[in-house]
């Protein structure tokens, strides 16, 4: 049988043979020309895998020459990079697939000389922001022995819940859950609650799915609130399908306090006051109902709570919203009419509104525009996604009954990734439900990625023992007791699934062996479980005869794909896609997964013990507002060149963007006497930092803004001392519905220095 991967293979000649040839050639007095010719005779293979420079999981083909990764390019067999509906898949594949600059720079993450190469042991017991840990290299056995000793203390004291884990998403997450269950701690936490938990909760409340996606390519009207998909790229196909939509005649409207890259391509841009998106969306709904432009049939058959919503909207007029959001009543009315009469249309909102204290209701109000006009699960509308589910884990063990430290259960729509803000607030204030002693932190620079930097540092210092598993030393690993070298995505296995409109699963596989013979993150937890002799419910030592590849293999075979890992390795591009393909109006055949089994204008009154002002998506002001002392909103955004705070040491990406600036409207700056390029002090009630001003007429005059992820003081040479970190100005602010960290709800002032 022809192996599907054969289509990816190129010249195959051994490097050692090639090197030997050169040596012999030189001895034989061959000309330089023929030596150069021999040098070109290298072994080259192309291996499909999935990117993890961000959480998108884009399909990649790695070219490996003589054991060295020489090139990364898009993999058009993987839907991530091509499209989000199967109906566009074949058509879009003709144009190839897409990757973003971060993905294309993955080689430099792999070969970064600043990578941690061996386990490191802290020898300086003192901990602090600028305190040298005085690392000493140790062997893997020494590292495991020390970690096992610390964990056994918790077992002996019958306090397994005193262990907490934090991890980047899509990185051995199910193994970490299995490990937590085996060890007996419920405190397994992941990145989502400092990212997009609010949008997920809002989409669950309205649609019953946690990541619906717009079918932009086939839409006639794209209305986007607080999202910059042409730059804040996570799924690398999104920019293209949005632009395809535009080429097909769709109108693009952006609601954002700043003139983003996407706003620059839009037909209309409305600079809104931060945190007022909900008011604008409610007033649009008011107009659509008053003008009788809603889809009565869809609403009658498929929705819950319309009458209450209509009643609530009675006085939410464009004039009411104008005073709140700054968009004129006339424009609100025309936006509403255009949205309703250009079908199919899409209204979507992401973390711009989502990382503010009224985000849950704001995003619901935006999403309900789709429901009002019936643009739900229709071509060109908001599509319900179906994420592929792996089969059952081979590790049979029930989750521990102990309560989580972070109090996730108190949040009516708390995300299963946990509540980092509450964890750190309680650690700092020493008022948690019990004591935490040990933390495992996997590829998460919490010190920079959590609000309230100084208290996060103090919180971490209260833990007795911290293990950081990362590729780099950074602000968080500097507070660790042991650092374990991590792997890049080019050195490890994984299975990637994402919510697109039809199911797929893609293989992430090592394209070379781990450079430092290190364990992958999953293998690290497996090895630890074995050394601790953790037992599953049958009483057997877990993982005693299972490698990570076996684990993935079993879960794949138990899934809908029903294939082996080897079969997935051999599938074109390393991808399995469901033969069922995209299906619209799925709600007609299956149960809508909301509480009322309908698309919800309103939650049911009994819903999740939620306060009454969340039953309908009522507009409430965000909690932290500007005042005389701190008169400016401070917003932040992701730029296409960087992921969170983890790529700033990549030389390619650093060349594209090596620092952030504080963007300010020139009118505001001039009225205060500041010059373009001036270094200023930025102050909030919770911290102070310095930033370089950059004039931008595209900033709302009451808003200052910057790119996220900069301001490192303990990362590699390319990253250190470049720009400033927004979180130094923030406090422990958490969304009361979802547990989301509220990074975008900050008010500041600036001063001369």
Q: Which residues bind ligand SF4 (CB under 6 A)?
A: 51, 53-54, 56-58, 99-100, 102-103, 233-234, 236
Between 233 and 610, whose beta carbon lies closer to ligand SF4?
233
The answer to whether 531 touches 558, Cβ cutoff 8 Å, is: no
The answer to whether 478 touches 448, Cβ cutoff 8 Å, is: no
Between 56 and 687, whose beta carbon lies closer to ligand SF4?
56
- In sequence order, the β-bridge partners of residue 441 are 166, 468
Residue number, nearest CB to ligand SF4: 103
CA angle 166, 706, 241 (to 5 degrees): 80
Between 147 and 232, whose beta carbon lies closer to ligand SF4?
232
Q: Say how far apart CA 579 and CA 597 lie, in whole Å.
A: 27
Kindly provide the b/e burial profile for residues 620-640, where b requires at least 16 CB atoms within 10 angstroms of the residue's own CB: eebebebeeebebbbbbbbbb
Least distance to ligand SF4, CB of residue 79, Å: 12
Would you call 235 exposed, middle or buried from its count of C-beta atoms within 10 A (0-12, 13-18, 19+)?
Answer: buried
Least distance to ligand SF4, CB of residue 350, Å: 15
Q: Say how far apart CA 27 and CA 23 lie, in whole Å.
A: 6
Q: Say how far apart CA 313 and CA 21 lie, in whole Å.
A: 80
Specify whether the backbone of 502 is left (phi greater than 0), alpha (psi in -120 to 50) or beta.
Answer: beta
Least distance to ligand SF4, CB of residue 55, Å: 7
Least distance to ligand SF4, CB of residue 495, Å: 15
The answer to whether 492 touches 36, Cβ cutoff 8 Å, is: no
**Residue 295, CA atoms < 13 Å, CB-side half-sphere:** 21
Kindly provide the b/e burial profile for residues 417-450, where b requires at least 16 CB atoms within 10 angstroms of the residue's own CB: bbbbbbbbbbbbeeebeeebbbbbbbbbbbbbbb
Least distance to ligand SF4, CB of residue 90, Å: 21
Query: For residue 720, what are the contacts with CB-CB under 8 A and spacing of at least 6?
Result: 712, 713, 714
Between 219 and 236, whose beta carbon lies closer to ligand SF4?
236
Least distance to ligand SF4, CB of residue 196, Å: 14
Least distance to ligand SF4, CB of residue 100, Å: 3
H or E segment and range at residue 140:
helix 140-156
Between 53 and 197, whose beta carbon lies closer to ligand SF4?
53
Q: Say how far apart CA 484 and CA 419 lie, in whole Å.
A: 25
Give the Cβ contact number of residue 398 at 10 Å.
Answer: 8
Q: Say how far apart CA 319 and CA 369 lie, in whole Å.
A: 19
DSSP 624-652: ----SSS-EEEEEE--TT--TTTSTT-HH
DSSP 398-418: PPP-SPPTT-GGGSTT--TT-
Between 100 and 457, whose beta carbon lies closer to ligand SF4?
100
Between 19 and 169, whose beta carbon lies closer to ligand SF4?
169
Least distance to ligand SF4, CB of residue 54, Å: 3
Between 78 and 423, whose beta carbon lies closer to ligand SF4?
78
Between 47 and 746, whose beta carbon lies closer to ligand SF4?
47
Between 100 and 719, whose beta carbon lies closer to ligand SF4?
100
Between 58 and 196, whose beta carbon lies closer to ligand SF4?
58
The answer to whether 136 touches 520, Cβ cutoff 8 Å, is: no
DSSP class of residue 520? Answer: P
Least distance to ligand SF4, CB of residue 231, Å: 11
Between 180 and 229, whose beta carbon lies closer to ligand SF4?
229
Least distance to ligand SF4, CB of residue 57, Å: 6
Q: Say how far apart CA 568 and CA 339 lie, in whole Å.
A: 43
Query: For residue 431, what are the contacts with CB-CB under 8 A and spacing of at least 6?
Result: none
Between 21 and 577, whose beta carbon lies closer to ligand SF4?
577
The answer to whether 526 touches 174, Cβ cutoff 8 Å, is: no
Least distance to ligand SF4, CB of residue 51, Å: 3
Between 104 and 468, whose beta carbon lies closer to ligand SF4?
104
Least distance to ligand SF4, CB of residue 650, Å: 11
Least distance to ligand SF4, CB of residue 99, Å: 4
Where would I find the H helices in 291-345?
296-302, 306-313, 318-325, 329-341
Between 56 and 705, whose beta carbon lies closer to ligand SF4?
56
CA angle 167, 169, 175 (to 5 degrees): 70
């Amino acid at each position: 049988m022809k192996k599907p991967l054969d289509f990816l293979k190129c010249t195959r000649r051994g490097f050692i043979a090639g090197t030997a040839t050169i040596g012999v050639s030189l001895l034989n007095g061959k000309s330089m020309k023929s030596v150069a010719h021999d040098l070109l005779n290298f072994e080259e293979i192309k291996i499909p895998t999935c990117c993890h420079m961000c959480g998108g999981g884009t399909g990649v083909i790695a070219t490996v020459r003589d054991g060295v990764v020489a090139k990364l390019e898009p993999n058009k067999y993987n839907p991530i990079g091509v499209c989000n509906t199967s109906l566009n898949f074949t058509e879009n594949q003709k144009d190839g697939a897409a990757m973003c600059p971060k993905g294309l720079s993955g080689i430099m993450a792999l070969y970064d000389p600043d990578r941690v190469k061996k386990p490191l042991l802290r020898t300086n017991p003192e901990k602090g922001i600028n305190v040298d840990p005085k690392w000493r290299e140790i062997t893997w056995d020494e590292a495991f022995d020390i970690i096992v000793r610390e964990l056994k203390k918790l077992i002996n004291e019958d306090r397994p819940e005193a262990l907490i884990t934090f991890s980047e998403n899509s990185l051995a997450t199910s193994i970490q859950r299995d490990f937590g269950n085996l060890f007996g701690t419920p405190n397994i936490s992941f990145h989502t609650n400092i990212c997009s938990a609010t949008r997920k909760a809002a989409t669950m409340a309205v649609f019953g799915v946690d990541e619906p996606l717009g079918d932009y390519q086939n839409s006639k009207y794209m209305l986007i609130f607080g999202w910059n998909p042409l730059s804040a790229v996570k799924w690398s196909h999104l920019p293209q399908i949005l632009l395809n939509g535009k080429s097909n005649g769709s109108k693009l409207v952006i609601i954002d306090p700043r003139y983003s890259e996407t706003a620059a391509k839009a037909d209309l841009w409305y600079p809104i006051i931060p945190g007022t998106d909900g008011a604008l969306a409610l007033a649009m709904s008011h107009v659509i109902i008053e003008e009788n432009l809603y889809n009565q049939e869809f609403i009658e058959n498929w929705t819950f709570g319309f009458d209450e919503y209509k009643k609530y909207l009675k006085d939410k007029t464009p004039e009411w919203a104008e005073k709140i959001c700054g968009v004129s009543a006339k424009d609100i009315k025309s936006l509403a009419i255009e949205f309703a009469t250009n079908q199919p249309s899409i209204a979507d909102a992401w973390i711009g509104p989502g990382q503010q204290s009224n985000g849950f209701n704001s995003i619901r109000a935006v999403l309900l525009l789709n429901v009002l006009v019936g643009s739900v699960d229709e071509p060109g509308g908001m599509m319900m996604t179906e994420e592929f589910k792996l089969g059952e884990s081979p590790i049979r063990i029930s989750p521990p009954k102990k309560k989580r430290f972070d109090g996730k259960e108190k949040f009516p729509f708390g995300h299963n990734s946990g509540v980092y803000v509450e964890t750190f607030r309680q650690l700092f204030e020493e008022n948690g439900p019990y004591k935490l002693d040990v933390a495992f932190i996997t590829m998460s620079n919490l010190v920079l990625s959590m609000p309230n930097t100084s208290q996060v540092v103090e919180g971490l210092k209260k833990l007795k023992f911290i293990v950081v598993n990362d590729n780099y030393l950074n602000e968080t690993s500097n507070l660790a007791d042991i650092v374990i070298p991590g792997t890049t995505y080019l050195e490890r296995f994984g299975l990637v699934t994402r919510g697109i409109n039809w199911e797929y699963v893609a293989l992430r596989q090592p394209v070379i062996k781990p450079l430092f013979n290190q364990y992958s993150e999953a293998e690290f937890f497996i090895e630890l479980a074995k050394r601790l002799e953790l037992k599953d419910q049958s009483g057997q030592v877990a993982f005693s005869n299972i490698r990570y590849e076996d684990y993935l293999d079993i879960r794949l075979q138990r899934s809908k794909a029903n294939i082996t890992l080897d079969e997935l390795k051999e599938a074109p591009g390393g991808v399995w896609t469901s033969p069922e393909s995209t299906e619209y109006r799925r709600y007609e055949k299956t149960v809508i997964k909301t509480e009322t089994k309908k698309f919800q204008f309103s939650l049911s009154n009994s819903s999740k013990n939620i306060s009454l002002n969340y039953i309908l998506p009522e507009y409430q002001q965000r909690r932290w507002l500007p005042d005389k002392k701190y008169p400016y909103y401070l917003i932040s955004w992701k730029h296409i060149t960087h992921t969170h705070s983890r790529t700033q040491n990549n030389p390619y990406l650093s060349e594209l963007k090596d620092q952030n600036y504080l963007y300010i409207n020139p009118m505001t700056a001039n009225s205060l006497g500041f010059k373009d390029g001036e270094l200023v002090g930025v102050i909030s009630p919770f911290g102070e930092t310095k930033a370089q001003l950059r004039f931008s007429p595209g900033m709302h005059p009451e808003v200052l803004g910057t790119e996220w992820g900069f301001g490192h003081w303990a990362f590699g040479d390319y990253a250190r001392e470049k720009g400033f970190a927004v979180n130094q100005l923030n406090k422990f602010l958490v969304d009361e519905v979802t547990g989301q960290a509220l990074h975008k709800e900050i008010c500041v002032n600036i001063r001369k220095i």
